[in-house]
């Protein structure tokens, strides 16, 4: 209570920077020393939330201290934190001081250390989502140079490829997955809404038909790659498409069910690729990369998807993507044509 009173003065009490500085130091020292004690974990995490409620001016003046404090907690006590709310609090506190361009490179360097260390002995579903959120927040920051964006995506891919899967899968429904992708003209507004919308809390993600592996491990990472594929920077979009393709071809996705792959096309792949066009050299290169991604993913998932009653609707949407004009001839047209040919050959085989 004494610490809380120093961090958040009540009423008309004056904020004393010196005391606030000492209180923040004391708070991080306590957390670093005592967070492994279950009986007081929740109290300490509630105290950390006080940092978010501090006056903006105070918090910005203590940027370096907050970044080092959170990093010390992760390094010394991270493996004892086994619940999502605890990690979400840590990430929120850390993210609250990333607006300064001066502190940003050091903050990113600390996160690289976190992920590397946690990947060795402390990565689980309890911190996977929070770490992904932080990495993509760093990648989307206006202070992120291309090397930081690439490194952030590389680390996110490392998390995605190493996070332990859930212990069990949720049962799949016996009835067919509802068809939310229609190829006819009347359904195009609905398709457009699906492509332009979507969020991490999209209700479609929680369909009973999809597996726990998809919902807990796959979707959180792929949704973020898909979002980056639609950002304004063409260079970032190119890097994101590359990592999305690598992720979709990982052997561990062999756990996915037909319903998982259907959701993947609807919620991840189509929203990422349909905004692309063949106009302009850079945009054309992205479109070609997207064509290869779509073809390889389709071929991988075809044995599971083809028996679904609405498979023809999925195929029509894919043809719609390949039917875009503006790619032209040359190497680009040849690559797109080869990708389409491979899919057709597999369908008629």
Q: Could you tell me if residue 55 is left (phi over 0), alpha (psi between -120 and 50 degrees) or otherwise beta?
A: beta
CA gap 24, 47 in Å, rounded: 10
pLDDT digits (tens, 9 = 90+) for 54-78: 878 788 888 999 999 999 999 888 8
Which residue would you say has higher pLDDT here, 80 or 222?
222
Domain boundaries, the chain: 165-349
CA gap 44, 256 in Å, rounded: 39
CA gap 8, 257 in Å, rounded: 50
Q: How confident is the model at residue 315 (pLDDT cuts 50, 70, 90)?
A: very high
pLDDT digits (tens, 9 = 90+) for 156-211: 999 999 999 987 543 333 333 333 333 323 223 333 333 333 344 443 444 458 99
Least reliable range by pLDDT among 158-162, 198-202, 250-254, 305-309: 198-202
- Given the structure tokens 């009173």, which residue do they identify? 5
pLDDT digits (tens, 9 = 90+) for 112-146: 999 988 887 778 999 999 999 999 999 999 999 99
Predicted structure pTM score: 0.82
pLDDT at 300 over 90: yes
């Amino acid at each position: 209570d004494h610490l809380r009173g120093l961090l958040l003065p009540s009423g008309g009490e004056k904020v004393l920077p010196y005391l606030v500085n000492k209180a923040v130091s004391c708070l991080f020292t306590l957390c670093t020393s005592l967070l492994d004690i279950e009986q007081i974990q929740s109290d300490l995490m509630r105290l950390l939330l006080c940092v978010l409620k501090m006056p903006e001016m105070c918090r910005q003046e203590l940027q370096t201290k907050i970044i080092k404090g959170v990093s010390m907690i992760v390094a010394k006590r991270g493996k004892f934190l086994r619940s999502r709310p605890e990690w979400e609090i840590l990430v929120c506190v850390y993210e609250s001081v990333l607006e300064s361009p001066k502190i940003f490179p050091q903050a990113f360097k600390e996160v690289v250390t976190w992920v590397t260390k946690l990947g060795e002995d402390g990565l689980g579903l309890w911190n996977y989502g929070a770490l992904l959120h932080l990495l993509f927040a760093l990648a989307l920051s206006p202070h992120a140079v291309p090397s930081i964006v690439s490194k952030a995506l590389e680390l996110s891919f490392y998390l995605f490829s190493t996070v332990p899967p859930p212990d069990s899968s949720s049962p799949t429904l016996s009835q067919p997955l509802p068809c939310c992708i229609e190829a006819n003209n009347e359904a195009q507004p609905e398709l457009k809404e699906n492509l332009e919308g979507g969020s991490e809390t999209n209700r479609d993600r929680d369909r009973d038909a999809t597996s726990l592996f998809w919902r807990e491990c796959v979707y959180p990472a792929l949704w973020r790659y898909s979002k980056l594929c639609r950002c304004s920077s063409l260079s970032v979009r190119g890097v994101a498409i590359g990592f999305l393709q690598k992720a979709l071809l990982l052997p561990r996705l062999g756990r996915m069910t037909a319903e998982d792959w259907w959701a993947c096309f609807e919620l991840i792949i189509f929203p990422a690729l349909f905004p692309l066009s063949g106009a302009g050299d850079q945009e054309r290169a992205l479109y070609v990369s997207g064509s290869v991604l779509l073809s390889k993913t389709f071929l991988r998932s075809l044995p599971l998807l083809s028996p679904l009653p609405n498979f023809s609707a999925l195929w029509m949407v894919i043809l719609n993507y390949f039917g875009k004009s503006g790619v032209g001839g040359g190497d680009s047209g040849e690559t797109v044509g080869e990708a389409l040919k491979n899919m057709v050959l597999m369908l008629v085989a």
